[in-house]
Amino acid sequence: MENLSFILEKLKGKKDSFNGDYFIPKMWNSFNFTNYSNDSVRYDEMKLNPYEFISDCIEKIIKNSSGKGSISSSTASDVSLESSVIYCLFPRMLTAWNHYDNNLCSGTFLKTICMLPYLKKMNVNLVYLLPIFKYSLSNRKGDTGSPYSIKNIYQLDENLHDNLLGDFNSEILETEFKAFVEACHLLGIKVMVDFVFRTVARDSDLIIEHPDWFYWINLECKNSFCAPKIEGIKAQTVVSEKLVPKIYSSRNVSDYLKQFTYSPKDIDQKKWLSLVDRYKTSGGNILELIEEEFKITTAPGFSDVIND
C-alpha cells in the first residue's frame, strides 16, 4: 500500500490550495462524497475540489478494506476466469471528462481509482486493462492515436498521468499505476494487463534493435500501398494451402511484392550503425531518419485475409 499512501499524502497536501472549478459526472460518486455543489448549466455533474474528492475515495478504500477481501501475494496467482466478473477497462477513455469547461481531459490512473468502488458494487473482481503503454502519434488516424500503435512496451502512456499530481515524469506515472493496482487489490479486485505483441507502431522503438522484425517497402510506395485485389476469390477469404498457387499467379500480387525491400540493416550495415549512433546521440524519430537516409519505410497495417 506504499504507493497508494504516497499518492494520498500528495493529494492531501494540495487540497487547501485548490481554488478553481472542477466538474465530474455524478455517477463517479459511488462512495457518498458530500462536499460538492451543483451547477445549473452543467446538468448531472458535481462541482468540487478534486484533491478532496479523490483523497476521500482513497481513504474509504483503505478504511473499508481492513484486509478483508484484499489480495495477498500468496493468492494473486489463483485466478478462475470462469467464475470471475471481468470488466474490460480502457483507462484513457473510462475517466475522460471535460473538468474545466474547455477541452476534454484524458482518463488517468488516478481518476480511475475513483471508479473502483462503483465496479466493486457491480461485483467486478477482475479488471482487464486495454493497452496502457506508450503509443505513437505518427501516421495516426484522428487526433488521439491508437493504443495498439505501441511505440514502447516498457513505458507507460504519459497521458495516463494526472496533472493534479504535478508535472509529468516517468517515476510519478509508475507510482500512479502501482497505486491503482494496490487500490484494486484492497478491494479484492485482480488486475490483468493486455500485452499486445501482434501490433506495434510503424516507428516503434523496436526498430532500433530489431529492424528485421518489420516489413519494409520503398518510400515511393508509401501513399499508394495497399493489399492486392485477387480476382476470382471472395472477399475476406482466409488463406489456405490450396489457394497459394492462385495467389502467386496473380499479376496484382506480383506488383504488390515488388514494393517490398530489405531492412535498412541488411541494405547497408555500416550506414545503419551510423544512423543508430546518430539517433542515440541526437534523438529524433527513428523512422523519419530511415526514410531520409534509406528511402524506405515500414509497411502500414494490412489484413491477414484475402480481399478484405
Using H for helix, E for strand and C for coil, what is the string for 207-257? Answer: HHHCHHHCCEEEHHHCCCCCCCCCCCCCCCEECCHHHHHHHHCCHHHHHHH
How far, in Å, CA of 62 to CA of 188, rounded?
12
Residue 75 clears pLDDT 80, i.e. is over it? no
Residue 285 clears pLDDT 80, i.e. is over it? yes
In the 8-state DSSP scheme, what is residue 167? S
Which pLDDT value is given to residue 72? 55
Quick one: average pLDDT of 183-209?
94
Quick one: average pLDDT of 186-201?
92
Which pLDDT value is given to residue 268? 97
Residue-wise pLDDT for 128-174, tens only, equals: 999 999 999 998 888 888 999 999 999 999 999 999 999 999 999 99
Yes or no: say if 252 and 229 are a contact pair by the CB < 8 Å rule: yes
pLDDT bucket at 196, cuts 50 / 70 / 90: confident
Residue 107 clears pLDDT 70, i.e. is over it? yes
Yes or no: say if 158 and 173 are a contact pair by the CB < 8 Å rule: yes
Which pLDDT value is given to residue 67? 54
Classify the C-alpha dihedral 171-174-176-181 as positive or negative. negative
pLDDT bucket at 82, cuts 50 / 70 / 90: confident
Find, among 261, 166, 285, the residue nearest to 212 by Cα.
261
Helix, strand, or coil (residue 191): strand
Yes or no: say if 219 and 287 are a contact pair by the CB < 8 Å rule: no
Angle between helices 286-294 and 269-282 (to 10 degrees): 140
Residue 68 clears pLDDT 60, i.e. is over it? no
How far, in Å, CA of 136 to CA of 281, rounded?
21
Which pLDDT value is given to residue 264? 98
pLDDT bucket at 66, cuts 50 / 70 / 90: low
The whole-chain average pLDDT of the chain stands at: 92
Which pLDDT value is given to residue 141? 80
pLDDT bucket at 77, cuts 50 / 70 / 90: low
Residue 37 clears pLDDT 60, i.e. is over it? yes
In the 8-state DSSP scheme, what is residue 187? T
Quick one: average pLDDT of 255-284?
96
How far, in Å, CA of 140 to CA of 190, rounded?
32
Yes or no: say if 95 and 109 are a contact pair by the CB < 8 Å rule: no
Angle between helices 50-65 and 170-186 (to 10 degrees): 40
Which pLDDT value is given to residue 303? 83
Residue 26 clears pLDDT 80, i.e. is over it? yes
Any idea which of 16-20, 80-84, 119-123, 264-268 has the lowest mean pLDDT? Answer: 80-84
Quick one: average pLDDT of 267-279?
97
Find, among 18, 8, 45, the residue nearest to 29 by Cα.
45
Any idea which of 19-23, 67-71, 212-216, 293-297 has the lowest mean pLDDT? Answer: 67-71
